[in-house]
Amino acid sequence: MGAFLYGAALQWRLDIRSKTLLLTCYLVPLLFFAVMGGIFTSVLPDAGDTLVSSMTVFGVTMGAVIGVPPSLVEIYGSDIRRVYQASGVPVWSGLLFTNISAVLHLFFMSVILYAAAPLLFDAKLPEHPGIWFGGLFLYIVTSTAVADVIGLAVKDPAKTSMGSMIFFLPSILFSGIMFPEELLPEAFQAAGKLFPATWGYRLLSGGAAEASCVWPLLLTLLLAGIVCAALVRRVRE
């Protein structure tokens, strides 16, 4: 237990020191929120109703999909993994600790956004905060699980960035965060359903844990978990 707690706390500190995660989990999402929040609420009077949810989904998607894979590549695509393995440090520990740290950072970013949105833009808060945060937690975990697949499957940093962008851009464009889904061509609407951001946004903006939105996220989480387990096994062998 001592090793587990120390490893998790150490990863948290390393993420703060490396600044990559800070940039993708805090600085860029909050800056985007500050700029786009102002534009959205001034152009579309109703945008304040969904601002907290849309900006949260954007921030979580970015922090997870762009921020997590490089940390995994640093461990699993380099000699760090072999050093850990040679010294009896479990292969899965790097993945687990990176995830714990990322989930906590993304959760804190979401809390900051949640608190700031009504003050800055007179945004409307969810009617049921408990359920909303529950949904948020599910979305954060699902997003980091998908990010894990990218980080474990691709070992080259340049290809990882490309893989992250290929996943990130349609997640943002097709999910309804930037403009209503109804304005998208049908093909793009259908494609959007393949990305967890669409279901995360529907879940959070709906204000309640709708089963129709929870199941796709749980299914994605399950699939990503299975793929991650296979990839870690492949790395170990």
Q: Which stretch binds another protein (CB under 8 A): 77-85, 107-115, 197-205, 216-224?
A: 77-85
Asked if 153 touches another protein (CB under 8 A), the answer is no
Asked if 234 touches another protein (CB under 8 A), the answer is no
Which of 39, 46, 85, 215 binds another protein (CB under 8 A)? It is 85
Which of 68, 72, 75, 103 binds another protein (CB under 8 A)? It is 75
Asked if 138 touches another protein (CB under 8 A), the answer is no
Which of 8, 14, 116, 214 binds another protein (CB under 8 A)? It is 14
The CA–CA distances, whole Å, from 160 to 24, 25, 69, 70 equal 15, 17, 7, 7
Distance CA 96, CA 69 (A): 13
Nearer to another protein, 89 or 209 (CB): 89
Q: By C-alpha distance, which of 163, 206, 169, 180 is closest to 68?
A: 163
**Long-range contacts from 218-223, C-beta under 8 angstroms, 24+ separation:** 218/138, 218/142, 220/142, 220/145, 220/146, 220/196, 221/138, 221/141, 221/142, 221/145
Asked if 43 touches another protein (CB under 8 A), the answer is no
Which of 43, 79, 127, 158 binds another protein (CB under 8 A)? It is 79
